[in-house]
Amino acid sequence: PQEQQELFPLGHSCAVCGKNQCTRHRPTLLLENYQPWLDLKVSSKVDASISEVLELVLENFVYPWYRDITDDEACVDELRQTIRFFAAVLAHRAQRVDVPSLVMDKMMKAAMKHIEIMAKAQQKVKNTESLQQAALAEYGADLHVALRSRKDELLYLRKLTELLFPYVMPPRATDCRSLALLIREVMTGSVFLPIMDFVADPDTVNHMVLIFIDDSPPEPIYDPPSALVPFLEKFADPRNKKSSVLKLDLKEIREQQDLLFRFMSFLKEEGAVHVLQFCLTVEEFNDRILCPDLSDAEMQRLHEEVQKIYETYCLEESIDKISFDPFIIDEIHNIAQGPYTGVVKLQTMRCLFEAYEHVLSLLEKVFTPMFCHSDEYFRHLLWGAESPARNSKLNRNLSLDDLR
């Protein structure tokens, strides 16, 4: 049951510590579970073609009635993100399909059974006009439910799409019934049904068979390959220029005392409060290390802090380990194990800066969007529940010990 709820349950690294099958952080922290398009790049020409098809789907199926209601693009922007998620998961899963086994074990068996039934039906009729009806009768109870009528085909595709939702939709997305119904109708009526019509067309079938059995070499390609681009990034870019309460950035969260406390509570639930702690620690450390005239005692204290940063966030066995590039870990290790006077080298070295940028990106691109869709945030946004820390002082120097 747990594996069924995860889009990518095996073989992918935790977004925080980088370990496979991490036992500390929640499985939903797999980057692919919230942003399956990460590390998924396709040719710009392919991406443009897919985007064009999806734009046509929105233009023909959504905008005709949506523009009669409002010109605000916020809802359609959310739909674009969900479609991108849906398509990215399908692309990932398609890459794992064993095509030869699928063709030989399933498609060929189905094709041979169909040929056999057609041959039997042909023996029972004298003209081709009656062949289709005879073939349907020959199938009998084995006739697929989707072949009974166009209405039955559409109903079948709707049910199939709903069954796919737990595997290809963002976590909790199906809790919004209106979004789930809209996605179901868009994918069923504008994507899957036309695809089924195209695949079932005799010309398409004959063309696919010719491609499959043709052993001639492909035509040479003279055009240079197009650049690789993030999958459907342009398609999912927000069209709405108005600010949305559902899309805060990290700076806004940190500037509001109550929101910051709720954000930290959310990170605690996700097992990632130390990610924010690392940012706060490095910010305070940078303010002090950049002082032009460091005393001997200050260098010793700063060196001790570097040692603590290394032991807390870089060691493989540390419970608060964060996944950094190896060169970052090596450079921090060299400073931590060297003489304390060497800490001043961090004024010009890039290891801490890049580590900070990596963690800041993690907070902004993964945890902030997750927080803006969490129950913790909606309780604050919709109900205005009193925060236990409303009167407490939260700043860059705060201690997170109470949240651990």
Q: Total domain count for the chain?
A: 2
269, 232: one domain: no
154, 211: one domain: yes
> What is the domain extent for residue 306?
250-403
Is position 101 within any domain?
yes
232, 276: one domain: no
What residues have CB less than 8 Å from 299, skipping those under 6 apart?
340, 341, 343, 344
215, 175: one domain: yes
188, 80: one domain: yes
CATH at residue 372: 1.10.167.10
Helix (H) or strand (E) holding 42: strand 41-43
149, 276: one domain: no
What residues have CB less than 8 Å from 188, skipping those under 6 apart?
154, 157, 158, 161
Amino acid at site 55: E
Is position 3 within any domain?
no
Mean pLDDT of the region 297-306: 92
CA separation for the pair 371, 377 (Å, rounded): 6
- pTM of structure: 0.62
Mean pLDDT of the region 330-352: 90
45, 194: one domain: yes
Is position 355 within any domain?
yes
182, 286: one domain: no
Is position 367 within any domain?
yes
Going by pLDDT thresholds of 50, 70 and 90, the confidence category of residue 46 is very high
CA distances from 388 to 269, 271, 372 (A): 16, 20, 20
Predicted confidence (pLDDT) per residue in 220-259, tens digit: 877 788 888 889 989 988 887 666 655 677 888 888 888 8
In terms of Cα–Cα distance, which of 298, 281, 297, 280 is closest to 289? 298
Helix ranges, 290-390 (H): 296-313, 326-337, 351-362, 368-372, 375-378
Predicted confidence (pLDDT) per residue in 191-208, tens digit: 889 988 998 898 988 888
